[in-house]
Structure 1
Amino acid sequence: MISSCYRRSLVVISVIVFISGTAFAGWQTMKQLTATPNNSNLPDHGNGFSVHNEYVHIAYSDKDDGGNYKVFYLRSTDRGGTWSQRFELDERSQAYMFTIVADNSGNVHFINRHTDGALYYRRSTDNGANWLPVTHLADHTENPILLTNGAKNVYAIDPIAPSVDAAPLYITRSTNGGESWEAPMLITTQESYIGLCAAADDQNRLHIAFAYGPQGNSKVYYIRSTDNGSTWGGVSEVVSTAGSGSRGIWADRTDHVFLSFTIYTKPQNYCCSTDGGSSWEGLQSLPCVIRDIAVSSNNTPHAVAVQEDNRILYAPSVTRGLTWNDTARISTLDPGVRSKPLIEADEVPNLHAVWNGRQTGKVQLYYRKCTDPIGIEDNPMLSMLGRERKVKLSPNPVDVTVNLHSSSPVALFDKSGAKVAVLRPGKNDVSLLRTGVYFAWSEYTGQPVKLVKLQ
């Protein structure tokens, strides 16, 4: 992405207002999942949380009864209602680099980088009820990432330590659900891979973001595959500002890709792609770093963040990532540091969030579930949007009166994500709106409808 990051004609610039209000009504009572005398840590690099259908999977590091660090596993088979006893996944975890991910065929995949750099893999073929033995996957890895898309495709992405001045980035792929693995394939070679992150979508695309460059002068780059990792495009620059670093990349089920990044001494930032990574838009300055994004079955993205090290915040986007709604606090007000929030969505869709908290003196795991992902109980307008099946506006562009062709009212948002009007079926007077671009949102279709207001 040479600097075509913001080349589309519409660039939406807005700010997420991270307010620490009460949580949306759909968030259920928080649960403390661990209460050990040691620290139950989610990984420093990787993802210790995955959800598919009614199964919720958590991998975390803790000490066993003998004082040895291990990676343990928790499972819920009823969408977070009840939880299993902990199960030992791997015997070494001091590197804090591990990932667990469930595919859509009942397989659960796990990788763990040991302190000597070796990468190990383990899988379950029955939604985590039983686990096959640990197998060796690579002799030396740096920052391994595990992805899956479809029923059988599993990917391990990782740079190898440079022998001179350049580090190769490899992908190791399984096309049979982890039963066997192909030989590593070279993706690219760069100076370094700061903040390496990756995502997979349902359109055979893999997305990788990372930063590299001299200290204080790094920039964010992006590379993708459109054929499940068989071939890769060139490395492109997404963020050209010196001192920038990638923090996370996520993809929905179609063409939307979301990128969180930081810029040294400046506000936290975010941009997105609506064409599968070909171009980027929606640049926003955020007061908090987006730590994780989950996409529900209607293609609505939901983000979690940490504010001031002690509040876990949640924000949905009713415009599929172009703008973000105000946030709500989903953690309690008890003192103590909180970190590493992760969020997943099941097919209902429920949201599931987990994070680390030091509210008891030791780091423990906390979990919360949302049965109302976009806060419909708190926002009747979103409820109406959720029932909407088709939105058409005419004329468009409009000067005075716009016709809404729909069976129910919809909300109209400006470019900052603020609701400015409610449009009702039939004629609507919009003469008082300022000149500019607006969005009418249909949550059912998952697509914002752009309205251009003339003078």
Structure 2
Amino acid sequence: MPRNIVEPKTKLTVIAGCFTVVIFSMSFLAASYPEGWTAKPLTSLPKELHEAPSIAVYEKNIHVVWNTWHNEFDSKIYYRHSLDNGKTWSEPVCLTPNSTTAIYPVVAVNATIVHVAWKDYRNGNPEIYYRRSVDNGQSWSEVQRITYNSSRKNNIYDVGIVVDGSNVYLVWKDYRSGSSEVFFKKSVDNGESWGSDQRLTYDYTPSYAPCMAVNGENIYIAWEDWGHRSNICFMKSSNAGVNWTEKIFLTENVTAGDSEHPSLAVWENKVYLVWQDTRTGNSEIYFKKSIDYGESWNETRRITDNTTVRFNPKIGVYGERLVIVGQGKEEGRFIIWYMTSDDGGENWSDPVKLTDGEVDAYDTSMFIQSYDIYVVWQKYYEAGWADIWFMSRSSGKPVVTSILLSNTSVSLPAVVDVTVDGFDPTYDKKELTCIVQYKSPSGSWNNVHSEFTGEEWEAHIDFSIDFSSGGCLVRAKLINPEGIESEWSVYKTVELHGEDSDSSVPSFTLPLMTFVLLAVIILIRVRDHEEK
């Protein structure tokens, strides 16, 4: 069932309490999937309406939330996790046992801290509520109410959550001011406390479907702006949400077509945006990117060209690798599809169907790590009966998730510390071997010794005075006990400044020039004295 339907009107089977029975032996629901993909249901009998799944992944720990309608007035939020890259799953946990109508949950994770937010009617007014787990979903904090609005006219939709370190950010669409506007809220202590609500848009036109991406202090938000037509707007903050730029229009539909359902992803300085667009008459997927932190954007590109409908795209990024998962309609059935780019969006694969169209598929949520793709969606059988399914494509390779340098600009000689993190879908970290290499500006790749510290790997590169000035590249990869290697990490650069570099000029040139000038002055004065 489409996610914008808040309350089902069909009579459902009444299940007392807060529980879900899961049965996986359902051969009559078997389906075929693309090569390399595996799928399994996260919900099953009894027949209930499970909807609005959301997924977050950290290394091989996968976290999924959704809401289940036990009857037309009782919906609760459920959670499951896998700590082995989707091989096995925990039993469902109800996160809202004391609520009657809790819907549309979203999840984010950093290390072992899991954050879940949702829309809740427990106090009569629709508000945002929140819980967190600091131990990978083994236990949960008490429920926190995040928003407080007295107006019964207030309504909240499209809640989104992202996390970066100890900073947790929420964005949503809110009607408290009488019109639909974008609001923002943040926590700087892993969700223990929250700042005030920030209204980001002040328009006479409605603002819908906000989405958000974050990298360090940089936060990016895009949304639909409904004037005469729907267009995609964008704003950003470079200081963790303290200040925001003015909104800009990234599409300019005036007389024909609507741009809807934006999705953002960010990797370092590059920001990627996709959305659905009907400017040509058919709903297709369009793409833009920025390579300067959202300051400027390239030309809009249409990246699907089909007689079938494509809509509601979600984008993920890992280095230069981009993945889009979306919905479509073929031969009267709603399907899930995906497409990829391995060069930062310059070239794209054709869309590939993930579901076979035997039943309708809605409500996608996705995450990528290296070559691994994780997707959850709603499999809709009939009125009042839909399940949540999980699907993944794993390369089986280790993955380098980060490589950090203690300094990116040094004067020779110097030592630069390298910290590498990553995981393997099968083996523990301690069983992996980490290879760190560096390449001098004029040399070849060299190995440097690394050690596992219990959580990550550390290496030290000794740049002697013999190195030439310029950019030195650093990279890393992981190898598991079977000899299976990860891809090389994204290169990191250390700028080396030697005695022949520009950085040394001021310390030598200025005293020399001063000495020459003084000598000239003395010679002139001596000459003048002799002439007298």
Shared fold per TM-score greater than 0.5:
yes
**CA-atom RMSD, angstroms?**
3.2
Report matched runs for 1:265-304 at 5 Å: 265-275=281-291, 276-281=293-298, 282-284=300-302, 286=304, 287=306, 288-296=310-318, 298-304=319-325
CA positional deviation for 1:211: 2.2
Instruction: For residue 95 of structure 2, give the secondary structure of its aligned residue in structure 1.
Output: strand
CA contact (8 A) 1:207 1:249 kept: no
Q: Does 1:155 align with 2:155?
A: no
Instruction: State the alpha-carbon separation in 1 of the partners of residues 128 and 114 from structure 2.
Output: 17
Instruction: For residue 211 of structure 1, give the secondary structure of its aligned residue in structure 2.
Output: strand
Specify the alignment match of 2:60 in structure 1.
54
Q: Does 1:25 align with 2:43?
A: no
CA contact (8 A) 1:27 1:372 kept: no
Instruction: State the alpha-carbon separation in 2 of the partners of residues 267 and 146 from structure 1.
Output: 24
* Closer/same/farther in 2, CA of residues 154 and 266 from structure 1, 3 Å limit: same
Specify the alignment match of 2:188 in structure 1.
175
Report matched runs for 1:36-115 at 5 Å: 36-43=45-52, 48-64=54-70, 68-91=74-97, 92=99, 94=101, 96-102=103-109, 104-115=110-121
Specify the alignment match of 1:354 in structure 2.
376
CA contact (8 A) 1:351 1:373 kept: no
Q: 1:330 aligns with which of 354, 369, 372?
A: 354
Q: Does 1:245 align with 2:259?
A: yes
Q: TM-score normalised to the size of structure 1?
A: 0.69
Instruction: For residue 202 of structure 2, give the secondary structure of its aligned residue in structure 1.
Output: strand
* Closer/same/farther in 2, CA of residues 445 and 289 from structure 1, 3 Å limit: farther
CA positional deviation for 1:192: 4.5
Instruction: State the alpha-carbon separation in 2 of the partners of residues 151 and 267 from structure 1.
Output: 37
Report matched runs for 1:194-343 at 5 Å: 194-214=207-227, 216-242=228-254, 243-254=257-268, 255-263=270-278, 265-275=281-291, 276-281=293-298, 282-284=300-302, 286=304, 287=306, 288-296=310-318, 298-308=319-329, 309-331=333-355, 333=356, 335-343=358-366
Q: Give the structure with higher Rg (CA).
A: 2
Q: 2:160 aligns with which of 135, 139, 146?
A: 146
Instruction: For residue 97 of structure 1, give the secondary structure of its aligned residue in structure 2.
Output: strand
Tell me whether 107-116 or 186-195 shows the greater mean CA deviation. 186-195
Instruction: State the alpha-carbon separation in 1 of the partners of residues 367 and 394 from structure 2.
Output: 12
Specify the alignment match of 1:18 in structure 2.
none
Tell me whether 79-88 or 92-101 shows the greater mean CA deviation. 92-101
CA contact (8 A) 1:77 1:83 kept: yes
* Closer/same/farther in 2, CA of residues 202 and 59 from structure 1, 3 Å limit: same
State the AA in 2 paired with 1:278: E
CA positional deviation for 1:234: 0.5
Q: 1:344 aligns with which of 367, 375, 379?
A: 367
CA contact (8 A) 1:203 1:253 kept: no
Structure 1, unmatched stretches of 5+, are 1-21, 375-388, 390-442, 448-455
Instruction: State the alpha-carbon separation in 1 of the partners of residues 175 and 51 from structure 2.
Output: 24
CA contact (8 A) 1:170 1:188 kept: yes
CA positional deviation for 1:295: 2.1
Specify the alignment match of 2:506 in structure 1.
none
Specify the alignment match of 1:399 in structure 2.
none
Instruction: State the alpha-carbon separation in 1 of the partners of residues 245 and 362 from structure 2.
Output: 35
CA contact (8 A) 2:335 2:353 kept: yes
CA contact (8 A) 1:156 1:172 kept: yes
Instruction: For residue 312 of structure 1, give the secondary structure of its aligned residue in structure 2.
Output: strand
CA positional deviation for 1:335: 1.5
Instruction: State the alpha-carbon separation in 2 of the partners of residues 290 and 204 from structure 1.
Output: 28
CA positional deviation for 1:70: 0.8
State the AA in 2 paired with 1:256: V
Instruction: State the alpha-carbon separation in 2 of the partners of residues 256 and 209 from structure 1.
Output: 11
State the AA in 2 paired with 1:342: S
Cα displacement string for residues 224-272 of structure 1 (whole angstroms, at most 9, x for unaligned residues) = 1122111100011111013423312221322132221323644423122
Specify the alignment match of 2:449 in structure 1.
none
CA contact (8 A) 2:337 2:352 kept: yes
CA positional deviation for 1:134: 0.4
Instruction: For residue 179 of structure 1, give the secondary structure of its aligned residue in structure 2.
Output: coil
Identity of aligned residues (%): 19
CA contact (8 A) 1:33 1:365 kept: yes
CA positional deviation for 1:445: 7.4
Instruction: For residue 36 of structure 2, give the secondary structure of its aligned residue in structure 1.
Output: coil
Specify the alignment match of 2:389 in structure 1.
366
State the AA in 2 paired with 1:98: P
CA positional deviation for 1:51: 1.1
Structure 2, unmatched stretches of 5+, are 1-31, 150-154, 398-436, 438-486, 492-532
Specify the alignment match of 1:8 in structure 2.
none
Instruction: State the alpha-carbon separation in 2 of the partners of residues 93 and 355 from structure 1.
Output: 23
CA contact (8 A) 1:300 1:446 kept: no
Q: Does 1:121 align with 2:130?
A: yes
Specify which structure has the higher proportion of strand: 2
* Closer/same/farther in 2, CA of residues 304 and 158 from structure 1, 3 Å limit: closer
Instruction: State the alpha-carbon separation in 2 of the partners of residues 188 and 206 from structure 1.
Output: 15
CA contact (8 A) 1:335 1:359 kept: no
Bigger relative contact order, structure 1 or 2 (CA pairs below 8 A, ≥6 apart):
1
CA contact (8 A) 1:258 1:321 kept: no
Cα displacement string for residues 55-82 of structure 1 (whole angstroms, at most 9, x for unaligned residues) = 1111111145998321111111111111
State the AA in 1 paired with 2:214: D
CA positional deviation for 1:208: 1.5
Instruction: State the alpha-carbon separation in 2 of the partners of residues 149 and 139 from structure 1.
Output: 22
* Closer/same/farther in 2, CA of residues 80 and 193 from structure 1, 3 Å limit: farther
